Amino acid sequence: MAENRPTVLILCTGNSCRSHLAEGVLRAAAGDRLTVASAGSTPAGYVHPLAIRAMAEIGIDISAHHSKHLNEFLAQNVETVITVCGNADQACPVFPGQVNRHHWPFDDPAHAPGTDEEKLAVFRRVRDEIRQTFTAYADGRRDAAKTEAAR
């Protein structure tokens, strides 16, 4: 991970859906301003195919992402931890160098009932909610950096 960029770690329990949606959105929105990663407290071992499909629809490719355990990041300098589900918030350790912690819960689309199309509709809704929240976060980080640079 780049040394001069703050690291933002997005956590969820399974690291198969929401955290990857958020990682993809934040990485795209923040550009080279942040190093963005995701992990889980109990990784599922895969990225949900409907998450990959929903992100591809908005031009973000997460097909190379993989499910990771949060312990992989304990020795890294993580500046901000963002949890996107209730269980990860409760299981979240403190990371070395951690300055910020945010908890922004979203529905878990992996548990959506129905046909594949009905499930995909839930993935799209959650993706859009995550996109709105994490794009605003990236914009806020960018504005704060501009203010700091102007001082």
Catalytically annotated residues: 12, 85, 92
Among candidates 117, 82, 127, 128, which has minimal Cα distance to 102?
82
First-to-last alpha carbon distance for the chain, in angstroms, is 28
Residues 119 and 121: their CA atoms lie apart, in Å, by: 5
Q: Are 39 and 58 in contact (CB under 8 A)?
A: no
Beta partners for residue 7, in sequence order: 35
Q: Are 58 and 126 in contact (CB under 8 A)?
A: no
96's CB contacts (< 8 A; 6+ apart) are: 74, 75, 76, 77, 78
> Any long-range contacts for 144-147 (C-beta under 8 Å, 24+ apart)?
145/33
